[in-house]
Amino acid sequence: MLVDDAGGCGGDMEKDFDSNASLQNPNNPPVQRSKSFAFRAPQEQFTIQDFQLGKIYGVGSYSKVVRARKKDTGIVYALKIMDKKFITKENKTSLVKLERVVLDQLDHPGIVRLCFTFQDTYSLYMALESCEGGELFDQITRKGHLTEDEARFYAAEVVDALEYIHDIGLIHRDIKPENLLLTAEGHIKIADFGSVKPTKDSQVSFLPTLPSDEKACTFVGTAAYVPPEVLNSSPATFGNDLWALGCTLYQMLSGSSPFKDASEWLIFQKIIARDLIFPDYFSEEAKDLIDKLLHTDPSKRPGAGPDGYAALKMHPFFNGVDWENIRAQSPPKLALETGESDGHDSGWNQSHDGNSGGTSSSEVSGPIPRLASIDSFDSRWQQFLDPGECVVMISTLKKVQKLTNRKVQLILTDKPKLICVDPAKMMLKGNTIGFDNPNDLSIVVSSPSHFKINTPKKVMSFEDAKQRAWQWKEAIEGLQKR
């Protein structure tokens, strides 16, 4: 929540923020905040012109995170820029406030620190500690997979930070390699608290009141790391994060997530069925820990049971870890991208797929039991679907043309149908493309990130920064064969 010490911000947008969500603990009567209350991370009077902007670390439906160097001090931050108009229109005010309040009160070396906030007419800004080592996801990608010693080090640092988060009554709800950042030295810091959920015993003070629809059992997170109980509409628990930890450890050791598939719908099927296969080179200790973290009963996952985190830390996989001095240990050597410099970027590069930090928007139905209604920041794409129509795959891509490359949102549905949307104008680009057999449409993959969709009337070329061209082909052809 971006407010000054007196509780107001000035201007219509800020007044709207304060009127939409009062500061209070959900279990207590409304609390009148003292005029002397001050956030640890202050609200400054900076402007965006005070910063030299570099590459984009990630893009969401109402925000982007940009590398930003403060011109007068030379200090580099990860600057989260949030669109005021969209936040108000989509009723996300209380979620932004919640993230701001939570980040301000978290104090742990394994969690990204909020440094200060500021705002202007159009945007809210949160300046976060910059993690110059990049994402753990990139280390896994560059190395193919991590050694067991490397995975043990990173997993232990995540456990250390998660224990702190859970002890103060918070559920992160989006643990994944993309949200585990690395310092320049190579230590883990958990980032992105946009999906955080306080428990009834939360020690965080001045919590905003969430709208009733945000209290429901809704799917928040990234498809490949979502636990089965969330898909079946159970309330969020600490076990949700431990399931995601198990998925992340599997990905560290193998190079891919345990429930990977061509579409979210197929991923959900694998999660519900617990379709889990371990590579032969996994140690018995690693397989046992992952197997226990991916238990279908969240209360039986190590760290969530009556023995708490002691049971998790005592697992044989973590033998040799000095839990008392974990942040003093030497981290694994970071693998740099070919041609990578010190991070001084001259341009703006979108990383990953721009779907609200990886959240999903599809409502799932089919041969498996009907899953919980999925409600996330990407619900805006539902306006382009027919009643009962389900999303199979969705991503922000570049549409490659002769003179210009334009960002589009490509949506594959179960009709089957392809929908191309201009995400800036929220308008359809051309006609939707229906298809039932290969004669209607074919897809040609030229590289992991480039593919063409051929129809009798035109050819469309796309670039997927997440390198999922083959997944698009498999998903489309799978619908044609139904």
Residues 397 and 317 in one domain: no
With respect to residue 43, please indicate whether it lies within any of the assigned structural domains. Answer: no
Positive or negative, the CA dihedral 446, 450, 453, 454 is negative
Look at the chain and count its residues: 482
Q: What is the CATH number of the domain that holds 310?
A: 1.10.510.10
Q: In the prediction, which pLDDT does 373 show?
A: 26
Is 7 inside any structural domain? Answer: no
User: Could you count the other beta carbons within 10 Å of the beta carbon of residue 358?
Assistant: 24
139 and 236 co-located in one domain:
yes
Tell whether 313 is covered by a domain.
yes
Same domain, 98 and 246: no
Instruction: Give the type of residue at 279.
Output: P
Closest of 271, 263, 184, 201 to residue 232, by C-alpha: 271
Among residues 98, 129, 160, the one where a domain terminates is 129
Selected catalytic residue, list 83, 104, 138, 174 = 174
Residues 70 and 160 occupy one common structural domain = no
Closest CA to 20 of 104, 90, 88: 88
Domain finish residue from 282, 301, 325: 325
CA 426 – CA 408 distance, rounded (Å): 10
Residues 242 and 224 in one domain: yes
What is the pTM for the complete model shown? 0.68
Domain count, the chain: 3
**What pairing do the DSSP bridges indicate for beta strands 114-119 and 123-129?**
antiparallel
Token readout for 291 is 């197997």
191 in the same domain as 139: yes
pLDDT at 50: 97
Residues 6+ apart with CB under 8 A from 28: none
Residues 153 and 228 in one domain: yes
| Claim to verify: residue 155 and residue 58 sit in the same structural domain | no
Q: How far apart are CA 70 and CA 127, in angstroms?
A: 10
Decide: helix, strand or coil at residue 463. strand
Q: Of 129, 156, 189, which residue is a domain's last?
A: 129
Strand ranges in 130-187 using DSSP code E only, listed in sequence order: 134-135, 170-171, 180-182
Do residues 307 and 190 both lie within one domain?
yes
Please tell me the distance from the alpha carbon of residue 440 to that of residue 102, in angstroms, as a whole number. Answer: 50
Q: Is 167 a catalytic residue?
A: no
Type of residue numbered 368: I
The SS3 call for residue 167 is: helix
Helix pair angle (284-293, 238-254), 10° resolution: 150
Residue 69: CATH number of its domain: 3.30.200.20
362 domain residue, yes or no: no
For each of the chain's 482 residues, which pLDDT tens digit applies? 333 332 333 333 344 333 333 333 334 443 333 344 568 899 999 999 999 998 888 777 678 899 999 999 999 999 999 999 888 888 888 889 999 999 999 999 999 999 999 999 999 999 999 999 999 999 999 999 999 999 999 999 999 999 999 999 999 999 999 999 999 999 999 999 988 999 988 998 877 776 654 444 455 667 889 999 988 888 899 999 999 999 999 999 999 999 988 777 788 889 999 999 999 999 999 999 999 999 999 999 999 989 999 999 999 999 999 999 999 999 999 998 654 444 433 333 323 333 333 333 333 333 322 222 222 334 567 788 887 677 778 888 998 887 778 889 898 888 889 999 988 888 888 888 888 777 788 899 888 888 999 888 888 999 988 778 888 888 888 888 76
Judge whether 322 and 329 are in contact, CB under 8 Å.
yes
Per-residue 3-state assignment (H helix, E strand, C coil) for 243-262: HHHHHHHHHHHHCCCCCCCC
For tokens 């539902």, the residue is 382
Q: Which residues span the domain enclosing 193?
A: 134-197+219-325
**CATH number for 424:** 2.30.29.30
**Nearest of 474, 50, 78 to residue 261 by alpha carbon:** 474
Q: Is residue 282 part of a domain?
A: yes
Tokens representing 299 are 């209360």
Within a domain: residue 203? no
Q: How far apart are the first and last CA of the chain?
A: 48
Rounded Cα gap, residues 369 and 239, in angstroms: 22
Q: Are 396 and 352 in contact (CB under 8 A)?
A: no
Predicted pLDDT of residue 473: 87
Q: Closest Cα partner for 375 from 231, 173, 220?
A: 220
CB 261 within 8 A of CB 475: no
The pLDDT of residue 370: 26
Q: What span, in angstroms and rounded, lies between the C-alpha atoms of 270 and 280? A: 20
Same domain, 188 and 256: yes
190 and 261, same structural domain? yes
Residues 6+ apart with CB under 8 A from 74: none
Q: β-pairing, 405-413 with 417-422?
A: antiparallel
CB 233 within 8 A of CB 242: no
Residues 178 and 284 in one domain: yes
What is the reported pLDDT for 357? 35
**Residue 304, pLDDT score:** 95
